[in-house]
Each structure stands twice: as structure tokens, then as C-alpha cells.
Amino acid sequence: MIVNFERGCSGSIEANWVATGRKMQLEFEVYGTKGALHFSQERFNELHYYRAGTDPRTSGFSRIEAGPAHPPYSNFTVAGGHQLGSMT
């Protein structure tokens, strides 16, 4: 589905509940002229951030591990490095 926003930009939304090999692939990706941000429910407390305009020889996504320094983190997990639920 194509989505058109008030400011003139557009995006797309895709959904699939039967993707082979995925357990909880609820995922968001946002791309813009200054960078990009990626989130996946399978890696709940991680964000992947890309800053545009850096040296192409060393550029790439940086992993940010969310923790107590990122409010409202404590509303979802008890301490840094913990995922929601159990790992089974």
C-alpha cells in the first residue's frame, strides 16, 4: 500500500503474517535525506541507525542498544539488555 503524507513525501506499508522462517518480524524502516532508522521486534531492544553524509568507505548502520537511558524503556523491561518475555 502506498501512503502519501501531508508534507508531500510518500511511503509504503507491507504486511505478511505467514513469512517462512520468521517468528515475530514486526519491523519498521524509515528512510530520509539525513539518514535511516530500522527496528525489528525480533531484536526488541536494538535500533539500527544510519547517518547520511558520512565517509562512504566507513559508512553503514550503527547498532544502538536501548536501555534505561532511553525513556520510557523501563515501562517495557526491567533492566538494560533484557528482552520482553522469555527466550524459548
Residue pLDDT, tens place only, 43-59: 878 899 999 999 989 99
Tell me: pLDDT of 3 over 60. Answer: yes
DSSP state of 85: S
Is 0.75 topped by the overall pTM? Answer: no
Backbone angles phi, psi at 64, to 5 degrees: -115, 120
Computed over every residue of the chain, the mean pLDDT equals 82
Closest CA to 83 of 39, 29, 28, 46: 46
13-17, 35-39, 75-79: segment of lowest average pLDDT: 75-79
Tell me: pLDDT of 73 over 50. Answer: yes
